[in-house]
Amino acid sequence: MIPQTFEQWKTCLVNDCKIPLTKEFARTRLAVYQNLDKSETKKFIRLYGHHHHQNIISWFTKIVDESI
């Protein structure tokens, strides 16, 4: 299932995948997902679509901008 909300996504990463959502991690991932020339980003969009790609950028930005 592709997460549809920030909370679903956060739960998936933190609880299921055991990935800590630190600001540093979010900044690193944003550097990838905001670069449309990166092969990883192209593959992500191909697999999950533009809408989910935009959600991911928004959610990682939220992690960087706020204390979660």
The pTM of the full predicted model, rounded to 2 decimals, is 0.90
pLDDT at residue 6, rounded to an integer: 96
15 alpha-carbon distance from chain centroid: 15
CA pair distance 13, 11, nearest whole angstrom = 6
Residue 31 is encoded by which pair of tokens? 């550097």
Task: Say yes or no to pLDDT of 68 above 60.
Answer: no
pLDDT at residue 67, rounded to an integer: 59
Sign of the Cα torsion 1, 61, 41, 31 reads negative
Confidence class for position 66, pLDDT limits 50, 70, 90: confident
Question: What is the pLDDT averaged over residues 35-47?
Answer: 98
Where are the domains positioned within the chain? Answer: 6-65
Phi first, then psi, for residue 27 (nearest 5°) are -65, -40
Confidence class for position 63, pLDDT limits 50, 70, 90: very high
For residue 49, count other CB atoms closer than 10 A to its CB. Answer: 12
